[in-house]
């Protein structure tokens, strides 16, 4: 077996005289640094017993020399070369970012997070403005909207989402009807379950659930696609060719989500109503014909208008947030993931905030 790195030493007046032996290399270092620390001050280092040395071994010698001003003797030509290469002052070479106290960092985190939220909001508004300007330029220059791109998005945002949104809304219709019926039965008013299902689905739930689903499906996809294109410099390539990314990438996506949302929202409402109807028929023994008849009496036309007004707004919101977050990707792959997450979270949050605003607004208009 080849000798591990080792040393023996004798104490002197100005410090120990250390004699290294064996192989002073990373692989055979063992616990040598700790033992050497335990010796304390070192006055001289003898390398004549060293069989082999690498940069780590040379560094151990160098740092002892720097600390105690020890003299090195008996170095082989290889050892000389390594010591020579390492001898410059390394103290200015930094390894870590500056460290600060916990409180300082906590405050800084709260501060940066608040600024980030504010920046995000301003950014989205800014981006929306830039998009409107791009749209204006496109119309003024009489360039047609890239319908081909829009239609491709119809497929992925709208048609492909039909099964999942239909099933989800159908089940939600059943749940509302069932839960409503349990409560209303106590007063013998289970027939009002129809009011509950009909109005809640058309006015609020159908669209809201659709918006959440579209944000999760398509908002995230927009962010990830655009983010990846940013990383591979595709967006930059487009700019240099003279194609406006706003026009080629953002507008078709936002247009698609804006146009699809009302359609999907209406479809979801109908699915929820069908779900409720199935429950009413099976659980409350209200025949479908009566169910439909009653729906026509109790759902005012303005519920439908409310849905149609809200839907495109939610669509724009989801499209813009997704594209904005995608465009913010810089640096690395990790950011694509982060930006995709924040696209979904921001879109759902903003949709719900706006929905609350709409609810108050339409009520005060007298559309109850």
Partner 1 sequence: MSEEIQAEIREELAAAEAVRPETFEYAIRVRGLRNQFGDAVIHDGLDLDVRSGEILGVVGGSGTGKSVLMRSIVGLQTPTAGEIEVYGKTLDTITDAEESRDLRRRWGVMFQGGALFSTLSVAENIQVPLREYYPRLDQQLLDEIAAYKVSMVGLPPDAGPKFPAELSGGMVKRAGLARALALDPALLFLDEPTAGLDPIGAAKFDELIRELADTMGLTVFLITHDLDSLYATCDRVAVLAEKKVIAVGTIPELLATEHPWIQDYFNGPRGRAAAGCNIAAERQDRKS
Given the rule CB under 8 A, which residues bind partner 1? 1-2, 4, 25-31, 33-34, 52, 54-56, 59, 63, 78, 81-82, 85-86, 88, 90, 92-97, 330-334
The distance of closest approach from Cβ of residue 27 to partner 1 in the complex, given in angstroms and rounded to an integer, is 4
The distance of closest approach from Cβ of residue 333 to partner 1 in the complex, given in angstroms and rounded to an integer, is 7
Both tokens of residue 136? 């204006």
Burial class (CB in 10 A: 0-12, 13-18, 19+), 253: buried
* Residue among 77 and 188 whose Cβ is closer to partner 1: 77
Task: Choose among 319, 137, 328, 123: nearest CA to 243.
Answer: 137
The distance of closest approach from Cβ of residue 340 to partner 1 in the complex, given in angstroms and rounded to an integer, is 17
Centroid of chain to Cα 143: 34
The distance of closest approach from Cβ of residue 3 to partner 1 in the complex, given in angstroms and rounded to an integer, is 10
Do the beta carbons of residue 204 and residue 309 sit within 8 Å?
Answer: no
* Residue among 64 and 321 whose Cβ is closer to partner 1: 64
The distance of closest approach from Cβ of residue 65 to partner 1 in the complex, given in angstroms and rounded to an integer, is 13
Q: What is the DSSP string of 95-131?
A: -SPPP--HHHHHHHHHHHHHHHHHHHHHHHHHHHHHH
Q: Which helix (H) or strand (E) holds 21?
A: strand 16-24
The bridge status of strand 71-73 relative to strand 42-53 is: parallel
What lies within 8 Å, CB to CB, of 312 at 6+ separation is 258, 259, 261, 262
What lies within 8 Å, CB to CB, of 165 at 6+ separation is 209, 210, 213, 264, 267, 268, 271
* Residue among 36 and 347 whose Cβ is closer to partner 1: 36
* Residue among 82 and 259 whose Cβ is closer to partner 1: 82
The distance of closest approach from Cβ of residue 24 to partner 1 in the complex, given in angstroms and rounded to an integer, is 11
């Amino acid at each position: 077996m080849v000798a591990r790195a080792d040393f023996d030493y004798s104490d002197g007046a100005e410090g120990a005289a250390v004699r290294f032996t064996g192989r002073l290399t990373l692989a055979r270092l063992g616990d040598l640094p700790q033992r050497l620390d335990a010796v304390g001050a070192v006055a001289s280092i003898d390398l004549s017993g060293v069989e082999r040395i690498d940069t780590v071994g040379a560094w151990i010698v160098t740092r002892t020399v720097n600390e105690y001003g020890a003299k090195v003797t008996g170095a082989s030509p290889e050892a000389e070369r390594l010591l020579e290469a390492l001898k410059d002052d390394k103290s200015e070479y930094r390894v870590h970012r500056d460290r600060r106290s916990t409180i300082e960092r906590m405050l800084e985190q709260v501060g940066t997070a608040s600024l980030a939220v504010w920046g995000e909001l301003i950014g989205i508004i800014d981006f929306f403005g830039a998009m409107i300007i791009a749209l204006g330029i496109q119309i003024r220059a009489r360039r047609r909207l890239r319908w081909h791109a829009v239609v491709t998005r119809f497929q992925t945002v709208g048609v492909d989402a039909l099964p999942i949104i239909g099933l989800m809304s159908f089940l939600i219709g059943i749940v509302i009807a069932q839960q409503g019926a349990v409560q209303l039965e106590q007063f013998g008013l289970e027939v009002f379950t129809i009011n509950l299902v009909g109005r809640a689905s058309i006015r609020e739930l159908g669209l809201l659930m659709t918006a959440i689903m579209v944000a999760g499906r398509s908002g995230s996809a927009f962010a990830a696609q655009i983010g990846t294109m940013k990383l591979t410099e595709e967006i930059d390539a487009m700019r240099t060719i003279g194609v406006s990314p706003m026009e080629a990438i953002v507008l078709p996506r936002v247009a698609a989500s804006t146009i699809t949302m009302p359609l999907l929202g209406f479809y979801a409402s109908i699915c929820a109503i069908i779900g409720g109807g199935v429950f009413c028929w099976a659980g409350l023994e209200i025949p479908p014909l009566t169910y439909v008849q009653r729906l026509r009496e109790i759902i005012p036309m303005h519920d439908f208008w409310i849905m149609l007004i809200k839907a495109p707004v939610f669509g724009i919101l989801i499209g813009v947030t997704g594209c904005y977050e995608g465009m913010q990707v810089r640096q690395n792959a990790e950011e694509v993931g982060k930006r995709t997450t924040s696209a979904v979270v921001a879109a759902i949050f903003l949709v719900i905030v706006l929905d609350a605003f709409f609810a108050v607004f339409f009520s005060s208009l007298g559309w109850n």
